[in-house]
Structure 1
Amino acid sequence: MVNKNIKSKEMTEKKDCQDLAVVSRAASVCTKHGIPVLPACPPNGEQIGHGGNAFCLKTTLTTGKGEVEVVVKQLLPSRGLSLALGLGELVSEAALLARVAGVAGVPRLYGIVLDPPALVTSFDGPHTLFEVVTQRPRRVSDEAVVRAVRQVCCAVAALHARRVTHNDIKSNNVVVRQHSDGTLTPCLIDLGNSALLGQAIFPRGQLRWEDHRFLAPELVAGEPSSAASDVFSLGHMMTTFVKFCKPHSEAGQLLGRLGARATAKCPNQRPPLQELIACLQSGLGRASTHCNLS
């Protein structure tokens, strides 16, 4: 019994040393990419979302400018990831958020907690774009939906200008603030699948496109991510909104036409993102055809 206790203690000490080494390496990566390291998670708050990999809590963070509403993303314990793998995932996402800092329509990175791993970003809306579009009775116009889609396209274009692809664009990954005049301010969240342009994110031959129809077929097949693969997902989002628009409305017809072109199976047959943006602006009667890609 004594020997077992000694062995158990030695194994615990070994794991603690390994975890310290993992945290130390992660801290070095954070310093390299300019990622703020927070000493501890903000207080627990309200759970506002979860997916296959993580769950999110809404809470507050005290900053030099006072308290701000934030989202704390933590990995699901059921995944059984080691500290190294779990922390690696969140550090990678934080590094990409740091790379696109200042881009309109993307969450602001406040920092990362190393142990237990947690990612802290801005809270940018209480509802998803899917919820707002599909609610009955709906409180926003078809034109407001088109305008929100255009803003999401501009955010994606800004990511591409920083050499980043999102790779998980869908209406449940867009949160919105709804204003009294009926307009929406969207924010494209969850950069967990994001990568540098040209990087593949899925293993070849391990996923079926039929199970991931909102993603470009070539991306699911294991090909490198591209601007065209994000365009496909934007097009899929547009086509899903058509049935929630008023019958024969100009907004619905516009989304349907653009969505059909953007979801072409061949990447070369999809329109460039700036062309989609220009068409959406034209449909809204806007004079400008350019986005701010800061």
Structure 2
Amino acid sequence: MGTHRRLGEYRLLDEIGRGSTAVVHLALDSQGREVAVKELCPQVAGEPEALARLARELAVQARVSSRYVARLLDGRVSADRPYVVMQYVPGCPLNELVRAYGPLDGDRLVRFARRLALAVADVHDAGVLHRDVSPGNVIVLGDRPTLIDFGISHQAGMEQITRRGMVVGTPAYLAPELIEGERATTASDVFSWAAAAAFAATGRPPFGRGSLHGVCFRILRGQADLDGMPEPLLAVVRRALARDPGERPSARWIAGALAQSDDTITVRGRFAAA
């Protein structure tokens, strides 16, 4: 059942997502267009830390322009109920899509993986680190992915509070250096892209399920399950899952490597570390 209350100029229709600090609503703007409104929960709406995170989310998402990233439309940090307004993206989260219909395959899989790499590359070109490229944050319509949720993103080079023992992001898709408390980099997002692409191809998280300790142990040991992943995606994903961040290609290189020519997927270009 929809809420049908108003938040600023937006009429909230239905809840379409919920986290520990915010709720996402399908809403209509003043011109009757569908948008997604992320609203801080009442219990945190006045907390300085929550407001600072929302302001940072607004600032970093405003920098990004991409066909494959949800657009920022509006936001009010100073409102009684602070909120962010984003492009509403029709489709299904990758994790739900794979659960319902199975893995992607064939040309559709490679197109999806390439376009998701383009999304990550566009984020990086804007000087932003996404920090949570995972199946729950990728909306899929056909073979078109749209990257969403900049809630823990920040500008590259900003001070980070991550430390050993602190897991920020979706654990099964985190780069090993983040588990060890090192700084996030573009290479960390590339690792997460590879893990998400592996999930799309196989229907399995590449480092398994189960306890957080077990998943993190397998990530640190490089024990990725890539059985059943087709070429040429397999070769690119293996490089992107390199234990050493300096050995991973850039997202832009990956997109080029997965480019299509005459309906034949070919791996092109020379490998270049990010």
Using the size of structure 1 for normalisation, the TM-score is 0.71
- Pair 1:106-2:65 in alignment: no
Identify if the C-alpha distance between structure 1 residues 198 and 134 changes in structure 2 by more than 3 Å, giving closer, same or farther: same
Letter of the 1:231 counterpart: V
CA distance in 1, matches of 2:190, 2:102: 30
CA distance in 1, matches of 2:90, 2:242: 32
Helix, strand or coil for the counterpart of 1:112?
strand
Identify if the C-alpha distance between structure 1 residues 115 and 162 changes in structure 2 by more than 3 Å, giving closer, same or farther: same
Q: CA deviation at 1:286?
A: 6.0
Of 71, 96, 115, the match for 1:151: 115
Is 2:98–2:200's contact at 8 Å kept on the other side of the alignment?
A: yes
CA distance in 2, matches of 1:241, 1:282: 19
What is the number of equivalent residue pairs in this alignment? 240
Helix, strand or coil for the counterpart of 2:124?
helix
Structure with a larger share of its residues in helix: 1
Listed as ranges, the gaps of 5+ residues in structure 1 are 1-37, 179-183
CA distance in 1, matches of 2:100, 2:112: 16
Listed as ranges, the gaps of 5+ residues in structure 2 are 1-5, 205-226, 270-274
Letter of the 1:40 counterpart: G
Identify if the C-alpha distance between structure 1 residues 104 and 203 changes in structure 2 by more than 3 Å, giving closer, same or farther: same
Question: Deviation per CA, 1:179-203, whole angstroms, max 9, x where unpaired?
Answer: xxxxx32210001111111335442
Using the size of structure 2 for normalisation, the TM-score is 0.75
Aligned sequence identity (%): 29
CA distance in 2, matches of 1:133, 1:149: 14
Q: CA deviation at 1:130?
A: 2.5
Identify if the C-alpha distance between structure 1 residues 276 and 111 changes in structure 2 by more than 3 Å, giving closer, same or farther: same
Q: Which runs of structure 1 show a deviation greater than 4 angstroms over 4 or more consecutive aligned residues?
A: 286-290
Is 1:55–1:76's contact at 8 Å kept on the other side of the alignment?
A: yes
Helix, strand or coil for the counterpart of 2:75?
strand
CA distance in 2, matches of 1:254, 1:53: 40
Q: CA deviation at 1:222?
A: 3.3
Is 2:22–2:40's contact at 8 Å kept on the other side of the alignment?
A: yes
CA distance in 1, matches of 2:159, 2:94: 27
- Pair 1:68-2:33 in alignment: yes
CA distance in 2, matches of 1:165, 1:252: 28
